């Protein structure tokens, strides 16, 4: 099917879809409501309380024994594409947010229940690495970030959780990180930007915690000392992509100690800034992988709305294939959309029908990009 009806008024005649059992979806809704309640708690307390009540209602729905199943199960329009693997990670994720929204410590007890971690799965498999990469099917890293300061044990103790990452990433020739899963995942840029955001957020947590530095033997090392050291290893520019990843491996994967983990995370923040630069054009192709950014970016997206012209014609399900198969540039610019990936050799073919979704933007894939970019904007925002 390659037809689009988005250029006319939206069709309001669609029936409401009802789900009576969807623990993972219910958990995500509870998270959205709880997080939004925090945003409004000071400026609109009444609305914030209403959101809290809604979050509590959805959380109870999520936990109810009779509704414990996956939202995608038996849904033919969903299951082949975004099949949810488990709801245990949403249990951890929603309980962590409910704690921050309400201050009720009972949510911490449930979020850290070891049975949840034992049963959590992601991306259709059992590989622990899939769980430790923040993505649409695993919220474990987000829950970890919320809980790491509560001394709640594995998997929230950051020294232990790093074991899941050891040697589990692949780098492009020019330094782009590609997370290595048990199967090569399509569209890896989405994982890079989502985890770049988490790295930046963790660094903010360290600053908010007034962490000044650490002792290396008898000498106290400040944050500035670390940054100066990291930059000395990463400059000139061409060594940035070769030495910094090795430093991350050294500090992050060989030492499971709080002070070294602090070193690792500051290095990781710098490394992920490099990842964003790669996506925005600092790469061998000298092109941005975000539409509309820079002078060179993808022009032939695997996207019906971008490739089908607004010519007043309602194409049939197959009648639009001529636009899918066309080599012409998109008639509609999908500004801000990030495509799926370059290949592992930094190559990229600007074609709608390439393998692996390399030129396909998705909502799930783009969700982490704005957050990662905003995390690099200095405060205060005016």
Token pair belonging to 273:
């800034």
Element containing residue 344 per DSSP (H, E):
none
Residue with tokens 């979020």: 111
Residue 234's φ and ψ, nearest 5 degrees, are -100, 0
Query: What's the CA gap between 160 and 155, in Å, rounded?
Result: 7
User: How far, in Å, CA of 9 to CA of 306, rounded?
Assistant: 17
Q: How many helices, marked H, and strands, marked E, lie in the chain?
A: 16, 4
What's the chain's length in residues?
382
CA distance linking residue 170 with residue 231, whole number of Å? 22
Question: What's the rounded Cα separation, in Å, for the pair 95 and 99?
Answer: 6
Q: Which of 146, 302, 303, 358 is catalytic?
A: 302
Give the three-class secondary structure for 170: strand
Asked if 173 is an active-site residue, the reply is: no
| H or E, element range at 79 | none
Give the active site residues. 302
């Amino acid at each position: 099917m390659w037809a689009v009806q988005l250029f006319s008024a939206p069709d309001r005649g669609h029936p409401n879809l009802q789900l009576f059992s969807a623990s993972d979806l219910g958990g995500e809704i509870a998270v959205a409501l709880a997080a939004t309640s925090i945003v409004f708690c000071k400026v609109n307390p009444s609305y914030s309380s209403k959101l809290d009540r809604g979050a509590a209602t959805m959380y109870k729905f999520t936990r109810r024994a009779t509704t414990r199943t996956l939202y995608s199960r038996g849904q033919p329009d969903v299951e082949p594409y975004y099949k949810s693997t488990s709801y245990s990670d949403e249990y951890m994720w929603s309980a962590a947010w409910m704690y921050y929204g309400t201050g009720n410590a009972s949510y911490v007890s449930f979020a850290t229940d070891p049975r949840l971690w034992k049963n959590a799965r992601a991306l259709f498999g059992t590989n622990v690495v899939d769980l430790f990469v923040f993505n649409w099917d695993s919220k474990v890293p987000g829950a970890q970030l919320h809980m790491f300061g509560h001394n709640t044990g594995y998997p929230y103790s950051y020294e232990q959780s790093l074991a899941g990452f050891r040697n589990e990433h692949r780098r492009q020739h020019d330094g782009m990180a590609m997370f290595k899963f048990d199967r090569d995942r399509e569209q890896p840029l989405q994982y890079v930007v989502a985890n770049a955001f988490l790295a930046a957020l963790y660094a903010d947590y360290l600053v908010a915690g007034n962490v000044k530095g650490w002792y290396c033997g008898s000498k106290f090392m400040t944050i500035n000392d670390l940054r100066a050291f990291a930059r000395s290893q990463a400059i000139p520019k061409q060594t940035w992509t070769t030495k910094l990843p090795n430093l991350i491996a050294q500090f992050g994967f060989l030492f499971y100690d709080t002070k070294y983990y602090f070193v690792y995370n500051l290095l990781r923040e710098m490394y992920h800034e490099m990842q964003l630069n790669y996506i925005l054009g600092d790469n061998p192709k000298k092109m941005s992988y975000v539409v509309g950014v820079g002078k060179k970016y993808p022009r032939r997206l695997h996207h019906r709305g971008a490739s089908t012209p607004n010519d007043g014609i309602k194409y049939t399900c197959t009648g639009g294939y001529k636009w899918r198969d066309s080599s012409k540039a998109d008639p509609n610019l999908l500004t801000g959309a990030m495509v799926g990936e370059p290949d592992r050799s930094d190559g990229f073919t600007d074609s709608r029908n390439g393998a692996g979704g390399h030129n396909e933007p998705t909502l799930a894939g783009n969700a982490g990009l704005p957050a990662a970019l905003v995390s690099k904007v200095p405060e205060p925002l005016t």
